[in-house]
Amino acid sequence: MSDLLHVGIVAFDITPTIHPEYGAWGTTPIMTEIDLPLSGRCLALRQDDRELFWFALDLCGNNVEEVTAFRAEIADALGVLLEQVIWSTSQTHSSPTVPGSNMPGGSSVTVRGEYDKAYCGQQRRIFFSRCITAAQAARDGMQPATVRAGRGFCDTISYNRRFPMPNGGVKFSRSHGEGLQSNKFFDTTIGLVVFDDAAGKPLAALFNFGAHPATMINDKYISPDWVGSARSEIEAALDGAPAMFVQGFCGDVNCYHIFGTPAQAKATGMRLGQVAVQALPTLIPARSTPFSFVSETIAVECRPMWTRAEVETALEKRCAFIDSLDADPGATWFDGINFPEQMLPGHRKIGVKVQTDYLHEAMRRIDAGEPGPEQLPFLVGAVRIGDVGAVLAHGENFSAAGRKIRQRSPFVHTLICGDTNGLFGYLGDDAEIDRGGYGTYSFWLMFYSASFRLPPAKGSADRVIDTSVRLLQKLLYG
């Protein structure tokens, strides 16, 4: 067995073209202006016959079914197995819908579609060609590498957005100052890994942080949001070596600004990037081997099927809210949920209709005696790079789950990687499920994929945590 880790990385452009009528990629008419380019990174890792291709892209993300198809297409082109392709997305809310998908680029009310099918088909082929070409180049450019690892801390660009209410519910806080008053946990850790070549020159870097890149939402801008300027700061400090951002467990964490501006996104990213750069000299040499990876699909239990009374009550509240907007366009609260004040009344109606469509399907199922799903599949993975362990999970776990995994991890350095291999939906712990609100209740009242789903039951977050820790232990101890 070789004791050398071989590493290759390629940065590549995925900035969408702008269709003259239908916006970015021909799928998202509202997105017509490029603030900053969107880009991807493909990190290729190999020891002996173990080879892995890890993508990280400036995209909001796609559901698990779609991403599995993405990974399979790339794996087939590379001649590798599906599990050898990892697909991580930053969740920037300023990316368009990927051609061939119906997943929004950051807001469920975003108008999207394939209006010019020939154009969208061409853009899809170009997108995947760039991904495959990048992976092939990363493979060809592999060279022996050593590892430095450590962490930085930044507590000034994010906050926990689930603000507890006196009645036991939760407010979706869109104010940094308000959110901090809750004193709820949000992860300030910046995980850092630098790969150096044989001469000690930086070859590539990983940085890992958990917060939504949602400075801009449902706007005209195409942008990596704060991720772009943070990445630029780190790459400048590493003499231009590509830095790859991997999102953390950000399900309940917002960035500083929301419904903000490109300048605010850049300022937020610069702040995070500069803190990360300050931490680079503190990174310590770490073993780079053994290199290995493992994954396991677990079953996340669902809550019981909705009752007729639950569905009728939910529909009544939503219909009443839609009616109220005609008399009070500023209305935002209904059924324990608060829409953004910045959202136009028409968009609020669209957001509610997404839920009523789901609820009507639930009622149809009740009338037909069709049960809801009892379980949902959830892929958990882990990667070992010597002394560094990385947990891989679908989006969007809440931040406290990441803290528990890191506390229980057997590795000296642990990366908490969410939004990986597809977006599953919000996954909170039992206390947050009891609180309800957007993340653990209303989000699940929509068709996130083609299938009808029910919210995760209590104990689901613990199942993900326990599986993550067990996989890390398996990689370290065998």
The per-residue pLDDT for 1 is 67
Q: Token pair of 411, please?
A: 């590795």
Model confidence over 419-471: pLDDT tens digits?
999 999 999 999 999 999 999 998 999 887 778 999 999 999 999 999 999 99
Q: What percent of the chain has pLDDT over 70?
A: 100
* Residue 334: per-residue pLDDT: 94
Q: Is residue 450 part of a domain?
A: no
Q: What's the rounded Cα separation, in Å, for the pair 59 and 57?
A: 6
What is the residue-averaged pLDDT of the chain? 96
- Same domain for 325 and 422, yes or no, is no
Does the residue 19 lie in any domain?
A: yes
Q: Are 275 and 364 contained in the same domain?
A: no
Residues 347, 236 within the same domain: no
Q: Could you tell me the residue range of the domain that residue 144 belongs to?
A: 5-287+378-427+458-477
Please give the tally of structural domains in the chain. Answer: 2
Judge whether 173 lies within some domain: yes
Instruction: Please write the tens of the pLDDT for every residue from 131-159.
Output: 999 999 999 999 999 999 999 999 999 99
The enclosing H or E element of 73 equals helix 64-78
pLDDT value for 144: 98
* pLDDT average, residue stretch 403-409: 99
In a domain, 418, yes or no: yes
For residue 198, give both structure tokens. Answer: 């044989």
Is 419 within 8 Å of 88 (Cβ atoms)?
A: yes
pLDDT (tens digit, 9 = 90+) per residue, 105-128? 877 778 899 999 999 999 999 999
- The per-residue pLDDT for range 358-399, each reduced to its tens digit, is 999 999 999 999 999 999 999 999 999 999 999 999 999 999
* Residue 110 shares a structural domain with residue 178: yes
Whether residue 230 sits in one domain with residue 361: no
DSSP string, 27-40: TBTT--EESS--EE
End-to-end CA distance of the chain: 16
Question: What pLDDT score was predicted for residue 358?
Answer: 96
β-strands 85-89, 50-57 pairing:
parallel
Q: Is residue 116 part of a domain?
A: yes
User: Which of 328, 347, 368 delimits the end of a domain?
Assistant: 368
Residue 194 phi, psi dihedral angles, 5° rounding: -120, 130
* 212 and 332 housed in the same domain: no
